[in-house]
Chain A
């Protein structure tokens, strides 16, 4: 089944304790992206990647890091989480610019993160 898989789905952690949210897609998509969703603010883009070893900042990159060493994986790293990073996080992927069906994002199931 074509899908985007995120882990963990739920996480409660404490301020300053490094964590990684993994994201993997099995559709051979070139483009991957991370979003956070907060009430009243909608989906905001954190980072995105057009291809392996190519990453770019989105609208709210502060406090986050990403890497794209393999095409299928795009982990989100919070080096020193703070309470304002409590949110619902989504990973998404697409075929990428120019391809047929481009710009249709497939989303993961979401990761709900709480930072105490």
Chain B
């Protein structure tokens, strides 16, 4: 049973476009959701959203959490070629706090 589902699986856009990446989750007693960016190597942390922090923004990237509908979106405005990466969504198991459920990721390619 999938606990974290991301869509779309892949996306190709032109520089300057705005993209929205989706992450839906099915986790009882939800506590937090994390977004990571993975370029050619290790995933790097972008945002963590919790019950008390349902919206985060950093430059051209922003993310919101809808606890009622059980999803999060990651928005990237004015995309650049450097935004090309796999974007991963993860939800920690609320019972253990340290076992993570990852989505399969969205592969974003930004064309000049």
Docked complex: A40-78 residues within 8 A CB-CB of B: 40-45, 48, 50, 56, 58
Query: Once the chains bind, are B97 and A103 in contact (CB under 8 Å)?
Result: yes
* Interface mask (A82-105 → B, CB under 8 Å = 1, otherwise 0): 000000001000101110001111
The residue in chain B whose Cβ has the minimal distance to the Cβ of A96 is B98
Task: Please measure, in the bound complex, the distance between the C-alpha atom of A50 and the C-alpha atom of B99, giving whole angstroms.
Answer: 10
A108 in the interface, Cβ–Cβ < 8 Å?
Answer: yes
A33 in the interface, Cβ–Cβ < 8 Å?
Answer: yes
Q: In the complex, what residues of A have CB within 8 A of residue B43's CB? A: 43, 90, 105, 107
B34 in the interface, Cβ–Cβ < 8 Å?
Answer: yes
The residue in chain B whose Cβ has the minimal distance to the Cβ of A97 is B97
Task: Please measure, in the bound complex, the distance between the C-alpha atom of A44 and the C-alpha atom of B42, giving whole angstroms.
Answer: 14
Give 17 new A-B contacts, CB below 8 A, not counting A42-B104, A107-B44: A4-B42, A31-B98, A35-B102, A40-B104, A43-B88, A44-B102, A48-B99, A50-B98, A90-B42, A94-B98, A97-B98, A103-B32, A103-B34, A103-B92, A103-B98, A104-B34, A109-B42
4 closest A-B pairs by beta carbon, nearest first, are: A97-B97, A42-B104, A107-B42, A43-B102
